[in-house]
Each structure stands twice: as C-alpha cells, then as structure tokens.
Chains A and B, each alone.
Chain A
C-alpha cells in the first residue's frame, strides 16, 4: 500500500512565523503535490514537483515555497505565516505513469493566529 505521511495533523502558529510542513511518501513516486483545501473551494494546487529539486507553481503559489531535496520528501514552507493561510493542507504523490492517480496524506490543519 502507498503510504503518504505528513508531519503534523494539527498545527497552530502565530502571524509572521516561518512554518514548515513535511510530507514523505514510501512508494518511489516521481510526482509530489501540495494542495490547500477550503470549504466551498475544493482543492487548489499550490506547488508540485516532478523530480528532485524540480518544482512548478500551481494555481495559488503566492506566500508559499517548496523544497524537494530527496525523492521521498516534499516540504511546503510558509515564509511568514498570515491568517489567510489558515487552512487544511494536503500532500499527494503519484507515478508518472497512466492513470497517474494521486495518493494523499492525512492532511495538516494549520491555524494561524
């Protein structure tokens, strides 16, 4: 079974703090993704990576950066957290083979106060 793990289920941070969200997958997947999920908006892609050290912006990259130094690990960084970044963050991974289905981690519910 594919296993995608995220470092925290719940996180509370203060405005202006630097926040790291970690994601690890154990199935040697090439692709990894970070989404945020907000009620009524579905899932929106922040960044994705198709190889080590490679990244591409998704639909809402502003205020976020990512790092992928190892194939199994993909980190999302909030350089200076703001209250509008309070959300559920979901990490996913997939192979670069059809049908490309994505496997998700349990999510991190981040609250910025």
Chain B
C-alpha cells in the first residue's frame, strides 16, 4: 500500500484565491511527521511546513497551513492568497516514528492563473 497518496496530478487556481492540495497517508505508528515541499521548475525542493502527529493545532507558516485530520489520515496543504510564484510541484511526505526514511507522494502540479 502507498504510504502517501496525492490524488490530484494537476490543479489550477486563480491568483489571490485559496487552494487546497490533498494528501492522505497510511501508517500504523502513533508517532509520525508530515511534511510539504514545493519544487519550482528550477528543480530544488523547498521545505514548506511540518505537522507532528501529536500536535493538536494545525501548523501554519505564513500563507501555508496544514489541515491535519488525524482520524481521516489526511494532511492537506492550504495556500491562501495564491501568487504566480506559487506555480510549482508540491509533494507531501511522511516520516514514521524516529526513523530516518521519508515517504513521498507523487506530487501535485499547481498552476496559478493571472
């Protein structure tokens, strides 16, 4: 079974609108971490936001927030007030327990339309 599932290969959003990128995960561990990365066309992966499994509040970083629904095993990324520079691939990832390995989803390509 896939550890991380991103079901939206591509998304479009109007500039200044909010957009939600979906991510579901599969783990039997109680302790885990969830991450979102952005990959612009230049290729470098940029760390955006982190949510720990024991964190009660949803993580926020500027215009990024993580909508963490533990019972549903979902960790959706919400980008508010989209900008043209937000056009990129977005990857959801998970680390289980204290392990070193990350599991990545297949990514969602976001295009912001002016």
- Encoded as 1 (CB less than 8 Å from any B CB) or 0, chain A from 97 to 109 comes to 0111111111101
Once bound together, how far apart are the Cα atoms of A48 and B105, in whole Å?
A: 18
Q: Are A45's CB and B102's CB within 8 A? A: yes
Could you tell me the distance in whole angstroms from the C-beta of B44 to the nearest C-beta in chain A?
5
Chain B residues near A56 (CB, 8 Å)?
A: 100
- Encoded as 1 (CB less than 8 Å from any B CB) or 0, chain A from 76 to 100 comes to 0000000000001010101010111
Q: Are A102's CB and B47's CB within 8 A? A: yes
- Closest-by-CB residue of A relative to B42 is A106
Known: A99-B35, A107-B43. 9 other contacts (CB 8 A): A40-B9, A42-B4, A44-B104, A56-B100, A58-B101, A98-B52, A101-B47, A105-B44, A106-B43
Q: How many residues of B contact A (CB 8 A)?
A: 23
- Closest-by-CB residue of A relative to B35 is A101
Could you tell me the distance in whole angstroms from the C-beta of B11 to the nearest C-beta in chain A?
16
Chain B positions within 8 Å of A, measured between CB atoms, are: 4, 9, 33, 35, 37, 42-47, 50, 52, 91, 93, 95, 100-102, 104-107
By secondary structure, the B interface counts as: strand
Once bound together, how far apart are the Cα atoms of A33 and B93, in whole Å?
A: 14
Could you tell me the distance in whole angstroms from the C-beta of A55 to the nearest C-beta in chain B?
11
Chain B residues near A48 (CB, 8 Å)?
A: 100-101
A64 on interface, CB distance cutoff 8 Å: no
Once bound together, how far apart are the Cα atoms of A103 and B93, in whole Å?
A: 13
By secondary structure, the A interface counts as: strand
User: Given A102-B47, A105-B44, A107-B43, is A42 in contact with B105 using a C-beta cutoff of 8 Å?
Assistant: yes
Could you tell me the distance in whole angstroms from the C-beta of A99 to the nearest C-beta in chain B?
5
Q: Are A42's CB and B43's CB within 8 A? A: no
A75 on interface, CB distance cutoff 8 Å: no
Q: Are A45's CB and B101's CB within 8 A? A: yes
Chain B residues near A100 (CB, 8 Å)?
A: 33, 95, 100
